Structure 1
Amino acid sequence: MPKMVPHFLFLLFSLTDAQTVVFQPSYIIATGPRITALLLGNTKDITLNVRTVLPSDVTGNLDPPSCKAGETQWILTSELVGQNALRVHLRLNRTLQLCGENKTDCCPKTLCVLETLQVSACAGDTSQASLLIQAKIYALLLPDNPGSDNKTVIPNQVYEPLGSCPCDFTDRTCDIRCCCDKDCSTEELKLFESHCLPGPFGGQISQVPDYQCSAQKEDSPDWFPFLCVLSPPENNPYLGLFYHGEEISTKPRPSFKKPILSAPIQVDIYRQGSPIFTLNNQLFTIPQMALGHCVHNAPVAFLENFSFKCVTMLRSCPTGYPLQTPLSDLRIQVNNGQGDEVTVVVIDKLVEDLTGFMSTGESVITSVMVQECQNVNLALDYKFFWKGNSITNITLTRSIGTISVNGNVTLTTRYSAVFLSGEFMGESNSGNPGYQVGRPIIAGIEDTQSGTFSVQRTSLNLWKPVNEGLCLTAEKQPVLFAENSTSGCLLTVTSDDMSQCDILRNKVYSLQENLIPAMYVAKIGNPNSQTKTDWLNIDFMNTSKTSEDGHGSCGEIPSHIHIHIWSFVTGMIDGNAQRNIQSIQVRSTLSTWTFEFGGGDIRETQLFPVTSSVTFIDIPINTGPPKTRFQINFTEYDCNRNDVCWPQLVFPVTKYYTGEPHSQSLAKGLILVFLLITASLLGTPWMQIRQAWNSSSL
């Protein structure tokens, strides 16, 4: 059978590009008469053909893909498994029996098929994708006498020694991997001679064990005759292990056929995490990031918010989805989960400032024609309004703009989806009720406009450097519970900035302040925005450092911000520890930046680090009873405060050993002492002393 990597259905749909086709996998080593592959992409108007290819006599390379079919011994068929997926089947149109008397259409040699196939997917006369198959198939070696009904009568092995070939189950038939089976021919043994059943199962009786008294050697220790095992060879340890003297008949074996992938089953009611379907039972997809790559057709899960950026290199104007999409293709009719339809409402937004969306690299060609690409999709922001288990409305805000392509252009597009209940965004918690490890810390800003206490959620952030690591292009990443982290970026400072230290300090302070735009932090993972007891005040502190500004230097720069979070375990729910935040402190470290001048009148620049970090501290639940005055003052036998620990000299029989009850460890220790004394009495030193005593007495 072909060696293929298993695919899940959602991955098949998500990796499909609507504008191109690709075989998955693109190379197969086939050892059986049936081959299956998938053709992903826009399979409309695609034709398939198969032919045999040979290496070129001049270059040694295989022939390029061609849309002209050749005569082969394979039958090519295909079936549609989705909107953008086609399953391709190849079946060998011949038998694999080895030639013998009065046999036709057979294999003259054991290696029956050895050829290279090329399957081409063509649009007209142009090859769009190709699949290369290396077929190496051996002939089927079938016994002359079918052994489906054969029976072997085996005597009662409880009272008789093990047979010379215990894996010979079937009479007059070669048993696979049984190398001692006399019914196997030489050709059959070559198929599995490197995979014979080991040990007694395959008739390979092991040697005499080392603990048998008959295995004593000249270099055996003195205690060997005392502790060896005396057992006759007839007392085989495998006696009665395999059979019970009954007739064993062959039974139908399970089938190991490859499962057939089916189309996704549409659910009647949407639940959190279930895929959203269109009205024609197709997956509703939005470009997303998966496995480090931007996937154009990724399914959207119900009540799962996301926001991604996709980077695309352009040399010319885009022509297909998702950068160029007609308005009619975006107004999709979606199944609302109750059998009715919801049409996507598209709102266009013109973007004139392309900062943050595109950057131009150096062109290899000196003179490149500038291309104006209009109505390019720069961002697709979906809003799903839901109620209960259904979708009530969908709006799409499409940001479009005109870009200029001159050589290599890097375009950064943005895609997001949020699920709104009424007018408010669905808030995701970080635990229930305690925080879960790896979930974001929930912060908040007090809403002073309302008469009662109310908190608007936000997050604590750290620096997330991208590209060159500059603070100008750096992004923010949320602080994750129980995960210590340190990050930073580089701030570009000119020589003129060093002459205006107050402005420089305020600039750095503003950068650091944007990381923590919050006043409160939630104690638990699912806080109530209107319950004050669920929130803690953030304690802001500055490390005082007296430093004066001088020529080329500025002091008291808040270059580092550190977050200390104290947490403790409040209990267990379903085996999961519930962790709450006890206290939080944000400390700014002030430092002095000194500019290194290189001389001259040129306006110089220098990079200075701006860093952020977070540390989580666990508060122990039970610190134990307070130490007595004797334990504090008398430290001679305290193992925690001395290098020499006398109480642990006999560790297993003392109270410090907690692996088992003290009574059991004491009894085992005494038995060990007894065995050591016995071994010393029966060993060589005692025998020499006894011989010397006997010789002196004579």
Structure 2
Amino acid sequence: MAKEVYMFLLLFSSAQTQNTVVFQPSYLTATGPAVSALLLGNSSDVSLNLRTVFPSSTGKQQTATGVIGPPSCVAEATQWVLTREQVGKTAVRVHLNLDKSLRLCGENETDTDCCPKSLCVLETLQVSACVGGTPQASLVIQAKIYALLVPANAGSDNKTSIPNQVYQPLGSCPCDLTFKSCDVRCCCDKDCSTEDLKLFESQCLLGPFGGQVSPAPDYQCSVQSSENSPDWFPFLCVNSSPENNPYLGLFYQGDTITPKPGPTFQRPPLSAPVPVNVYTQGSPILTLNDQYFTIPQKVLGLCANNAPVAFLKNFKVKCVTLLRTCPTGSPLQTLPMDLRVEVKNGQGGDVIVDVTDEVATDLSQFISSTDAVASSDECENVTLALDYKFYWKGNGITSITLTRTVGTISVNDSVMLTTRYSAVFLNGEIMGEPNSGNPGYQVGRPVIGGTVDTLDSNTVSIQRTSINLWKPVNDGMCSANEKKPVLFGENSTSGCLLPISRQNLTQCDLLRETVTSLQAALTTATYVARSGNPNPLTLTDWMNISFVTLNSSTAMEDTASSCYGIPSHQHIRVWSLITGMVEGVPQRDIRALQVSYSLSTWELDCGGSDVFPCVDPAETQLFPITSSVTFTDIPISTGPPKTRFQINFTEYDCNRNDVCWPELAFPITKYYTGEPYSQSLAKGLILVFFFITASILGTPWRQIRQAWNSASL
């Protein structure tokens, strides 16, 4: 991989130096209806011509070595469509798309837009890059494409029925991914026959994904069968509803359910029929004419202008567009009447998007870079941001609000415009964010932070926010301003690089303030949630974050080329405690969170050959800014230290010996917690009394009395 990158850079630099153009790669093999390559170099006056060198009628497999003739600037009519896309100042992406159907022709079919044979396309193409009728470079493409074989029974269009996620967060069998087909290692798949299950019954998928959400305890009424359960079991077993599940908070985003008390032995009432078009988590939102409601989003790393919006899925994306002229179409040019879309609410009705316009005065966060050329055109009412808020309740949408941010942009030779799009689902006024456990934190889930927010009714609420670390991206510079959330139970260290010059080191106070603000932006929260499913209106579910204040009384000795007291490292320490077990799953709570800083001295290193930063005031060196998190488990019960007798002699130590004599009287000791101590003591004394009475009145004592009487006579 490193060798290929090196060759690519070598060709790229060579094309720039000689002011020529080259194709990279120069030979391709196409097995599908689309193929692309890069044309590197000065391509401003270059024209592209496509011709067929060896058509499929020849029936020969031709290669690009020793057979293809010189490139030609005469274009020919082919069954391919040639397009080009400018991806940079010195790079053009060349696309070829097959303008023909790959469907296999049927018997006695007269339609020419199909494939008469299984091998549909077999030909060699040549793309020539010409300047003024003179070929400069050529690209040879060997196309060998087979027809698409579509089964006669393509399957039905019936939608899969998803159960209520409040009770079954992942469905009864989450690994059942293929409709009417057996999935390997999915032992709960109803489509698997007995013979199929024998192939992988010892390798079944475990955990929630394999359908084993949580093991049912022995005291559940549904566990005991009618064969081995005693007569009194139906009156003493426990009926626990499926909503009492420690995994529920990890997958369901929504409101909680208050259980209603009722008799155990009662037939459950039939639920009301569910509307046909109800929304479930992840299902696409539809407009009134049964079209997908779309908002620009990122798909596979690229921005798609018409991406469907999923119910209860929040997102926030940025899209970068290179503008050379004023935009004329969506999404950069939109009208309020076009954004007021009628959307199905999931309950048989519809809602209309309420649009509010805002004019951006500060364009620095939207225009990332411009060329230093005088303004040539003014683009008015350019859409800079679209922020949607979806208010929902149950399986429906109650209202939708949109804040559209517009502004006037000066278009130069080229302008890099960064637009922002977001969608937030609010249950009432509370954002439907995923929890990190139910109730305790689960390892790998984000630590939940919060800030105080006062509502209109003077009610204090905690607004959720994340506690972050640095996330190095691209070149690792801090200017990228990328962050990643702190994940519970996972220690991590990360950082970024900040360019500092000799001129910056002459302003140490400003440098310290800059680094402090960068580190403070990682943790804007003032509270942290104790458990994984905190209530924003209950302050007892939150606790204050402890910030270690820097010692400002220490004298700073700054010089012309060094600065002291730079808070270059931020450390987060989290103390957690296991507070209990829910069906075998440990429940962890956060007991304390501390944010501290480490001070360091920054000075230029001019050793070796790197002396330019010490000579040129504008030359920079890279200094690291780091952040880390450490999780510490608090022991459940430390107890008093062991004595020398307990350490050396293990005869009476129940934890280190198979025979434990102190447990002989376990029901009457303080360790027995099945009932109050007074009752267990009374019952134990009664048993001792019965044992002594039975011993005295039993056969051994009768024989002893007879022997005593015989001896006395």
- How far apart are 1:422 and its partner, in Å? 3.8
Once the two structures are TM-superposed, the CA of residue 307 in structure 1 deviates from its matched residue by: 0.8
- Unaligned stretches of 5+ residues in structure 2: 1-28, 35-54, 82-98, 110-115, 124-141, 150-274, 607-612, 650-656, 659-713
Task: Show the 5 A alignment for 1:366-385.
Answer: 370-385=376-391
Percent of pairs identical after alignment?
55
Partner of 1:568: 577
Offset at 1:381?
0.8
Do the aligned partners of residues 580 and 405 (structure 1) sit closer, same or farther apart at CA in structure 2, a change above 3 Å counting? Answer: same
Aligned CA distance change for structure 1 residues 280 and 446 (closer, same or farther; 3 Å): closer
Tell me the residue number matched to 1:583.
592
Choose from 524, 527, 534 the match for 2:534.
Answer: 527
- 1:334 corresponding residue in structure 2: 343
Distance 1:393 1:401 in 2: 27
**1:392 to 2:401 alignment:** no
CA distance in 2, matches of 1:608, 1:293: 32
Partner Cα distance (2:100, 2:589) in 1: 52
Distance 1:27 1:298, change over 3 A: farther
Is residue 435–residue 532 contact of structure 2 (8 Å, CA) maintained in 1? yes
User: How far apart are residue 404 of structure 1 and its match?
Assistant: 3.8
Q: Confirm or deny: 8 A CA contact 1:322 1:377 kept in the other structure.
A: yes
1:554 CA drift (Å)? 2.4
Q: Find the counterpart in structure 1 of residue 279 from structure 2.
A: 270
* Pair 1:537-2:544 in alignment: yes
- How do 1:201-216 and structure 2 match up within 5 A? none
The amino acid across from 1:610 in the alignment is I
TM-score by length of 2: 0.50
- Equivalents in 1 of 2:351, 2:641: separation in Å? 67
Question: Is this contact kept in 1: 2:360–2:406, CA < 8 A?
Answer: yes
- Whether the aligned pair in 1 keeps the contact of 2:102 and 2:148 (CA below 8 Å) is no
| Contact 2:501 2:617 survives alignment (8 Å) | no
Which SS does the other structure have where 2:624 is aligned? strand
User: Aligned partners of 1:512, 1:368: CA distance in 2, in Å?
Assistant: 37
Q: After the TM superposition, which residues 319-358 of structure 1 pair with which residues of structure 2 at under 5 Å, given as runs? A: 319-358=328-367
1:551-604: CA deviations, max 9, x gaps? 233222211110011223334445644322132222211112224585568456
- C-alpha distance in 2 between matches for 1:87 and 1:329: 35
CA contact (8 A) 2:119 2:144 kept: no
Q: Between 53-62 and 596-605, report the one with greater CA deviation.
A: 53-62
AA of the residue aligned to 2:286:
F
SS in 2 for 1:611: strand
Q: 2:104–2:147: 8 Å Cα contact kept in structure 1?
A: no
Q: What SS does the corresponding residue of 2:104 show, helix, strand or coil?
A: strand
**For residue 613 of structure 1, what is the aligned residue in structure 2?**
628
Which residue does the alignment assign to 2:145?
A: 134
Aligned partners of 1:394 and 1:525: how far apart in 2? Answer: 29
- Which of these residues, 447, 452, 462, is aligned with residue 441 of structure 1? 447
Alignment partner, residue 593 of structure 1: 602
Aligned to 1:644: none
In 2, Cα distance between equivalents of 1:541 and 1:589:
10
1:91 to 2:86 alignment: no
1:458 aligns with 2:469: no
Determine which of 481, 487, 492 is the counterpart of 1:474: 481
Residues of 2 paired with 1:467 and 1:460: CA distance?
Answer: 22
* Aligned residue among 552, 558, 561 for 1:550: 558
Post-superposition shift, 1:522?
0.9
Q: Determine helix, strand or coil for the equivalent of 2:505.
A: helix
| 1:307-334 Cα deviation digits (max 9, x unpaired) | 1112233444444332234444322211
In the other structure, the counterpart of 1:430 is 436
Letter in 1 for 2:630: T
- 1:382-419 C-alpha deviation (Å, 9 max, x unpaired): 11122333222222222223334444433221110112
Q: Secondary structure at the match of 1:134?
A: strand
What is the one-letter code of the residue matched to 1:269? V
Distance 1:539 1:396, change over 3 A: closer
* Contact residue 378 and residue 409 of structure 2 kept, 8 A: yes
Correspondences of 1:613-652 after superposition (within 5 Å) = 613-619=628-634, 629=644
Q: Is 1:294 matched up with 2:294? A: no
Q: Aligned AA for 2:303?
A: C
The Cα of 1:63 is off from its aligned counterpart by 6.5
| Separation in structure 1 between the aligned mates of residue 614 and residue 473 of structure 2, nearest angstrom | 32
Deviations 1:578-635, CA, capped at 9 Å, x for gaps: 322132222211112224585568456544322211122334557799655268679x
Classify the secondary structure of the residue corresponding to 1:91: coil
Aligned counterparts, 1:150-161, within 5 A: none
TM-aligned CA distance change 1:329 to 1:133, over 3 Å: farther
Alpha carbons of structure 1 residues 59 and 372: separation in structure 2 relative to 1, 3 Å: farther
Structure 2 residue 528 is matched with structure 1 residue 517: no
Does the CA-based 8 Å contact 1:559-1:611 persist in structure 2? yes
Deviations 1:69-102 (A, max 9, x none): xxxxxxxxxxxxxxxxx99672324499xxxxxx
Contact 1:53 1:63 in 2 (8 A): no
For the Cα contact (< 8 Å) 1:476–1:515, is it kept in 2? Answer: yes
Q: Does the Cα contact within 8 Å between 2:102 and 2:120 map onto a contact in 1?
A: no
Is the alpha carbon distance of 1:425 and 1:291 closer, same or farther for their aligned partners in structure 2, counting shifts above 3 Å? same
- Aligned positions, number: 421
Per-residue deviation, residues 312-362 of structure 1 (Å, max 9, x unmatched): 334444443322344443222111112222222222322243212223366
In structure 1, runs of 5+ residues without a counterpart are: 1-25, 30-35, 38-50, 69-85, 97-110, 119-130, 139-265, 635-653, 656-698
Q: 1:137 & 1:590 partners in 2: Cα distance?
A: 65
Following superposition, the deviation at residue 271 of structure 1 comes to 2.7
Structure 2 CA distance for aligned equivalents of residues 114 and 532 of structure 1: 69
Equivalent positions of 1:44-123 (< 5 A) are 58=69, 65-66=78-79, 90-94=103-107, 114-116=119-121
1:434 counterpart SS class: coil
For residues 338 and 514 of structure 1, the distance between their equivalents in structure 2, rounded to whole angstroms, comes to 42
Which residue identity is paired with 1:501? C
CA radius of gyration, larger in: 1
Q: How far apart are residue 275 of structure 1 and its match?
A: 1.7
CA distance in 1, matches of 2:498, 2:325: 34
Partner of 1:487: 494
Output one character per residue of 1:40-84: Cα deviation in whole Å (capped at 9) or x when no partner: xxxxxxxxxxx977789756999664599xxxxxxxxxxxxxxxx
Residues 615-694 of structure 1: pairs in structure 2 closer than 5 A: 615-619=630-634, 629=644
Residue 415 in structure 1 maps to residue 428 in structure 2? no
Change (3 A) 1:384 1:514: same
> What value does the CA root-mean-square deviation take over the aligned residues?
4.6
Q: How does 1:216-295 map to 2 (within 5 A)?
A: 267-295=276-304
Q: Distance between the aligned counterparts of 2:279 and 2:148, measured in 1?
A: 48
Distance 1:456 1:361, change over 3 A: closer
**Deviation of 1:453 (Å):** 6.4
1:507 alignment partner, one of 506, 514, 521? 514
